[in-house]
């Protein structure tokens, strides 16, 4: 499994001892377009795409240029994958659970209820064959995938009213992405998939009762605290959300080896940078939100247990209907259980001591 995944992540360097071809062949001038699912106001997520483009240019001495577009500029935010698949653009940056309706397997690579945390996602993708598993699937859509950003564990969203018990979920119109909607629907929630730019007006007008996006930094930018007071935790449906750079497979395969290496390295860099920025900026934003009257709430143990049961039901039902889904989910579930067995020994133990002694 390890060997396989190492080929996976470093596929571009698998045969590194090659003779140097002529520079003209190996460094052609290229101009690509990248559409994203993000408004420019999301400075971290959109910003890291601009940096990826700069980095690829730098690595290729200015010869491989990528132009980045906000969601809606040339392609609607939630249509980024389609536009990449059909070659409207060469690549995109998106959350693949937006494609959940087409095939729920897409969600497994991005974020799923009670899934891997951020470090475990990287461990799965980079060392346990995860990127190979993903590319085997996305190849069917004419797409080459690279992990390109993680949010860490997200918050559970903004609610106009407190959740008293499991029954409070009944009839709740909740903006929530991907897979989580199906799980929450089992408990009576009416899920809505709405792109970032349209959430605030929906919450303000009362078209929806609650909305989740990412965490303090992004959520503050989108202004939700102005129209909903209760900020719930944890976002159990996004324990370590991975965003991806998806590339049209024909375009990917047409790249010279060193350009593949440049895009692969820049995506891996973006993958690290984005979570570093969220981890660094979230505590600052949270302090401001609390100072502005936001009230933190934890989902009650009863709600958490009901959601876990509903999630396991959806996993079983979807696995029974979709062979791709079953194969990938079985892989992730076994990895998750093994990871958390180890996690509690050192990492969680350390954090537990530190939370008690350093955070107050």
Site residues (CB under 8 A) for a second copy, limited to 113-172: 114, 117-120, 122-128, 152-155
Q: Give the C-alpha separation, 166 to 305, whole Å.
A: 10
Q: Give the C-alpha separation, 25 to 258, whole Å.
A: 11
Residue recorded with tokens 């974020």 = 111
DSSP 104: T
Residues 291-310 that bind a second copy (CB under 8 A): 296, 298, 304, 308
Contacts of 346 (CB under 8 A, 6+ apart): none
Q: Give the C-alpha separation, 228 to 173, whole Å.
A: 13
Q: Give the C-alpha separation, 76 to 281, whole Å.
A: 28
Residue recorded with tokens 């792109």 = 195
Residue 230, interface with a second copy (CB under 8 A)? no
Q: Give the C-alpha separation, 246 to 144, whole Å.
A: 6
Residues 40-99 that bind a second copy (CB under 8 A): 51, 54-55, 57-63
Q: Give the C-alpha separation, 160 to 229, whole Å.
A: 6
Residues 182-211 that bind a second copy (CB under 8 A): none
Residue 261, interface with a second copy (CB under 8 A)? yes
Binding test (CB under 8 A) with a second copy, winner from 3, 291, 293, 358: 358
Residue 331, interface with a second copy (CB under 8 A)? no
- Smallest distance from the beta carbon of 350 to a second copy, in angstroms? 4
Strand 230-233 and strand 91-94: the pairing is: unpaired
Residue 321, interface with a second copy (CB under 8 A)? no
**Closer of 141 and 245 to a second copy (Cβ):** 245
**Closer of 161 and 298 to a second copy (Cβ):** 298
- Smallest distance from the beta carbon of 133 to a second copy, in angstroms? 14
Tokens describing residue 153 = 């564990």
My answer on whether omega of the bond before 151 falls inside 30° of 0, hence cis, is no
Residues 9-38 that bind a second copy (CB under 8 A): 9-10, 12-13, 16, 18-21, 23, 26-27
Binding test (CB under 8 A) with a second copy, winner from 136, 198, 279, 324: 279
Residue 233, interface with a second copy (CB under 8 A)? yes
- Smallest distance from the beta carbon of 218 to a second copy, in angstroms? 13
């Amino acid at each position: 499994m390890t060997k396989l995944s190492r080929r996976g992540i470093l596929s571009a360097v698998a045969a590194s001892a090659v003779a140097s071809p002529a520079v003209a062949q190996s460094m052609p001038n290229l101009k690509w377009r990248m559409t994203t699912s993000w408004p420019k106001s999301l400075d971290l997520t959109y910003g890291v795409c601009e940096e990826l483009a700069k980095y690829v240019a730098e690595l290729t001495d200015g010869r491989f240029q990528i132009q980045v577009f906000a969601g809606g500029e040339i392609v609607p935010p939630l249509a980024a994958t389609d536009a990449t698949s059909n070659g409207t653009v060469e690549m995109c940056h998106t959350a693949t659970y937006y494609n959940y309706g087409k095939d729920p397997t897409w969600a497994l690579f991005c974020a799923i209820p009670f899934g891997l945390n951020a470090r475990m996602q990287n461990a799965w993708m980079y060392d346990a064959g995860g990127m190979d598993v993903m590319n085997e699937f996305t190849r069917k859509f004419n797409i080459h995938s690279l992990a390109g950003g993680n949010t860490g564990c997200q918050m559970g969203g903004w609610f106009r009213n407190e959740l008293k018990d499991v029954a409070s979920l009944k009839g709740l119109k909740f903006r929530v992405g991907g897979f989580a909607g199906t799980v929450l629907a089992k408990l009576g929630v009416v899920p809505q998939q709405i792109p970032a730019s349209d959430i605030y007006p929906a919450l303000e007008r009362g078209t929806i009762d609650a909305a989740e996006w990412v965490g303090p930094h992004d959520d503050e930018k989108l202004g939700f605290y102005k129209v909903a007071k209760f900020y719930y935790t944890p976002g159990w449906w996004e324990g370590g959300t991975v965003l991806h750079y998806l590339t049209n497979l024909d375009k990917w395969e047409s790249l010279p080896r060193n350009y593949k290496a440049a895009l692969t390295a820049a995506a891996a860099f973006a993958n690290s940078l984005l979570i570093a920025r969220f981890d660094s900026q979230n505590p600052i934003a949270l302090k401001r939100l609390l100072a502005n009257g936001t009230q933190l709430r934890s989902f009650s143990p009863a709600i958490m247990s009901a959601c876990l049961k509903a999630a396991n039901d959806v996993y079983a039902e979807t696995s029974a209907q979709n062979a791709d889904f079953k194969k990938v989910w079985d892989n992730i579930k076994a990895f998750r259980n093994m990871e958390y067995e180890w996690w509690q020994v050192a990492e969680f133990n350390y954090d537990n001591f530190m939370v008690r002694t350093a955070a107050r």
